[in-house]
Structure 1
Amino acid sequence: MDRPGVARWTGRETKALRLAMRMTVRGFAAGIGVSDRMVSKWERGGEHITPRPGNQAALDTLLVRAGTQVQERFAQLLTARAAAGDDERTEALLAPATQRHRHPVDGKLMIAVEEGIYLSGAANPPSWLPAFFIDIYPVTNADYVRFTDATGHPAPRHWGRDGHCPDSIFDHPVVWITWRDANAYATWAGKSLPTSEQWEKAARGAKGSAYPWGDAATAAKCNVQESGIGHTTPVSRYHSGVSAFGVYDLCGNTWEWCTTESEPGRRVLKGSAFTSPFVRADPAAFNDASETMSDNDTGFRCVTTALDLGRR
């Protein structure tokens, strides 16, 4: 089962976890079972120092048991640290938390995408869009549980015959969702599915980068076929794949439904999935499907306008 984790702990990740847990050095050290001097040494060494395997295992356990809110703060701190160098996403990723809003109905974090011109499509013609807010993460199984509990909407097939979501995939994107299911969720939440233009701007930024993270074709920054994982992953896993606006999973993990109709009864899909080769992760690429299609690699996220959000 997938759990939040770190491939290799260094002093940088150790400090990020302590800050995310809002603990003193002494309290954090006690939780790991080491001296506070040891924790201070790790933090001073930053990315150049690596705790011993036993201590790394203890850090893994601490992160898993910390809970969703701590894990989200930990992911945001790592993203901010990664952006602090020579990265065109720095300004957006280090934006104050006031630009992030928790939606009053479904409780999801959303972030602003400012109005203006951006480059869109394969030929990069300039397009203009009004401002909007977009979910930072795709709709997860945990989010969808709140929707089904509130409305009685049928549960997706992978939850099992009893309709209960397994704990192991709470923080994974919900799948086996038709466009109509996704639209029903958006309507319940008082939001909407993004247009293909909104989705692409959130992915490519105002300057029309080839990928959310820039122009380098780096498959390791997302969950695609080349990753060899073979299933969905937690929505906050790929910190280095975050877009210029601070949005996760816009390449890989799951295809995402858009509200844009390609032809009667068919809607645009964006982003590619764990089942797709990296070449299909191009945010400008076109894909669509029948509104009644559902699969193990198809999910969604929502948008709303700044005005609507401000009125709630």
Structure 2
Amino acid sequence: MERKKSLIVVRTILGFLSFGLAILACSLPWVNSENSPQPTITEEPASQASFVQNTEEQETVTEVPQAVEASPPEPGSTLRWIDSSLLVYIPPGEFIMGQDGEDNPEHAVFLDGFWIYRTEVTNRMYLNCMAMGKCSPPAIDPAIPDLEDPDLADFPVVGVRWYQALDYCEFVDGTLPTEAQWEKAARGTDGRPFPWGNAETNCELLNFNECLGKTSPVNIYPAGASPFDVLDMAGNVFEWVADWYREDYYSDAPFDNPMGPEFGEVRSVRGSTYRSAPNQVESALRYFLGPDEYRTDLGFRCVVGKAHEYAPPCSVLAKAPEDDLGKNPDEAPGGSASCVVPEPELSVVTYCEKGQRGNNISWTPVDAEVNYSILESAWCSQYDEDTLACVGNYGATVSIEACKSCPAPVVQLGIVGACDPPYVFDETTRLCKYAGPPVPGAVNCAPGYSLSGDDSCCDRVDRTPLDFPVCPVGGVYEPSSKICWFTLPSTGDEKCVNQSVFFRWCPAEREPRPSDPCLQYSFEECRLHLNDGCHWDYKEEVCRGS
């Protein structure tokens, strides 16, 4: 992305997505927080609607108890959101923004508290929006991956224009983060250059500088997390944010909750990508692009206002029991214990010609990679795919090794789903049912949901089964068991089997006497041991004793 490149604005009109998605809530901290500031996002000068807390005073009635407010969330608190994403709470307060560049001079900014997606929006999340017929697909481009590829489900969605990103966030009752919100979530409050601190960039912290040569799943770089445990705030893909871009905006931006310029032609873009060089991944760097443009390395994440004021869902997906997730990966189906490497059947033909001793070594084809190595005093050449031609003296040794990569297993264990309190597993529906009390201050439900009879949770308005179940990042929904399965914490390994071929005397030659100590010497060494009774046998080319 060229910085300061002028691009054209075209509005892509999208529909709204009804909430027919399944929800998975894990240990929900339904707590109160500051209202999340909303950005100004318009084609013409106009103000974007914000989440506004109802401040109308109510009459004090003795018989009616006052509503009880929960304590503000702790920094880094998490909340499972309605599209199965994980929200992270960023507390109110001041932080250092910018780094004294041409368009980002360092300055202090105060932000109200807000909730932000821990990861970028994934292909799985966006595909479920499209499946309901309410979200438009990404741009048509050969470089954009197939959203329906299950192997890419947890990769960030790319190829979306600014308006498509905004529409998705509005679908989940959120919006795109402002530049200030994005930067605070990325670098914390101490002005660090990178999400993880001051350490130099490397391929263990982020996907950049062609480390992988492509995008990666959104949850595989925990070591590069920000101080609030937000992932991929450097590397992988660029991210759309809410603001119009103006080079000198920081010079007159307000101290409290800056929302970006009121007008503009291009939108701000933050973060970095798997292609970014080491000097292009600092959290304070700013980029821009026309809102009607797209890139194959540009995605987004959302922020949500008043997430704490939503009542918990009445039904959520179950997950694989912890006992299953904790089993030894080698013992799980598909694990290394069930990964067998076939041993090639060797055939050795010994020959003698003009004093040379050698072996033609061949093996049967197997479902493994076969290689050879010379362990002692031999010379070999690959005659064909499964045959070696080798020569060498008595005692030469060649090793034949067959290796096979064993993939990481996937959990397919257990038949009873697990639920986090206050949810309990329902054998009939195979879903987790809310069994807790009403949450103080939680009075809202997502579109398509309404408060249950006792106001304790949010039920689907149409009361139909979950149409498009969605698992958290890393999980795969298995329809027959109606449970989210997760890959065990194993990266797989490689198994090998070895066989050695030992060069022996030709049949026409006399076998050496095992007790003869002179046999171990070369020609030069044999001459040095003449006084020990050794002499060189020129016919058999070997050192012998008297």
Q: TM-score, normalised by structure 2?
A: 0.38
Kindly provide the amino acid, as one letter, of the partner of residue 275 in structure 2.
Answer: T
Higher radius of gyration, 1 or 2: 2
Number of equivalent positions: 218
- Equivalent of residue 237 in structure 2, options 246, 249, 254: 254
Q: Aligned in 2, Cα 1:158/1:125: closer, same or farther, shift over 3 Å? A: same
Task: Report Cα offsets for 1:157-213 as digits up to 9, x if no partner.
Answer: 36999x752112100000011111101111111100000000000000021211110
Q: Is the 8 A contact 1:254 1:299 kept in 2?
A: yes
Secondary structure of the residue aligned to 1:213 is coil
Paired with 1:141 and 1:158, the residues of 2 have a C-alpha distance of 15
Secondary structure of 2:166's match?
helix
Q: Paired residue for 2:182? A: 199
**1:102 matched residue in structure 2:** 80
Unaligned runs of 5+ in 1: 1-68, 73-94
Which residue is 1:155 aligned to? 137
1:302 aligns with 2:302: yes
**Structure with more helix by fraction:** 1
Shift of 1:219: 2.8
**Partner-residue secondary structure (3-state), 1:219:** coil
Taking every aligned residue pair, what percent have the same amino acid on both sides?
29
Deviation sequence 1:253-294 (CA, Å, 0-9, x none):
000000011152311111110122121111101101010111
CA distance in 2, matches of 1:139, 1:164: 12
Does the CA-based 8 Å contact 2:76-2:228 persist in structure 1? no
Which secondary structure does the structure 2 equivalent of 1:119 belong to? strand
The answer as to 2:206 corresponding to 1:222 is: yes
What is the match of residue 281 of structure 1?
281
The separation in 2 between residues aligned to 1:309 and 1:301, in whole angstroms, is 21
Shift of 1:147: 1.4
- In structure 2, distance between residues paired with 1:147 and 1:240: 31
Q: Are residues 1:142 and 2:124 paired?
A: yes
Tell me if structure 2 keeps the 8 A contact 1:201–1:208: no
Q: Summarize the Cα distance change of 1:242–1:103 in structure 2 as closer, same or farther, 3 Å threshold.
A: same
Q: Answer yes or no: is the 8 Å Cα contact 2:208–2:276 preserved in 1.
A: yes
| Other-structure match for 1:241 | 224
Deviations 1:17-70 (A, max 9, x none): xxxxxxxxxxxxxxxxxxxxxxxxxxxxxxxxxxxxxxxxxxxxxxxxxxxx9x
Q: Distance in 1 between matches of 2:76 and 2:93?
A: 21
Task: Provide Cα deviations, 1:126-151, integer angstroms capped at 9, x if missing partner.
Answer: 11000000000100000101211234
Unaligned runs of 5+ in 2: 1-23, 27-72, 101-105, 247-263, 311-443, 446-546
1:98 to 1:238, Cα distance in 2 relative to 1, 3 A: closer
Q: 1:158 to 1:97 in 2, by over 3 A?
A: farther
Supply the distance in 2 between the matched residues of 1:119 and 1:98 (Cα, whole angstroms). 18
Q: What is aligned with 2:91? A: 114
Q: Aligned-pair RMSD on alpha carbons? A: 2.7
Q: 1:183-198, aligned counterparts within 5 Å?
A: 183-198=166-181
Normalised by the size of structure 1, how large is the TM-score?
A: 0.64
CA distance in 2, matches of 1:182, 1:159: 20
Secondary structure, aligned partner of 1:198: helix
After superposition, residues 58-73 of structure 1 pair within 5 angstroms as none
In the alignment, what sits opposite 1:127?
A: 109
Aligned to 1:41: none
Aligned AA (1:170): A
Distance 1:111 1:139 in 2: 14
- 1:222: how far off? 0.6
Cα distance in 2 for residues equivalent to 1:250 and 1:164: 22
SS at match of 2:175: coil
CA deviation string 1:102-149 (max 9, x = no partner): 112x22110100000000011332110000000001000001012112
TM superposition shift of 1:307: 5.8
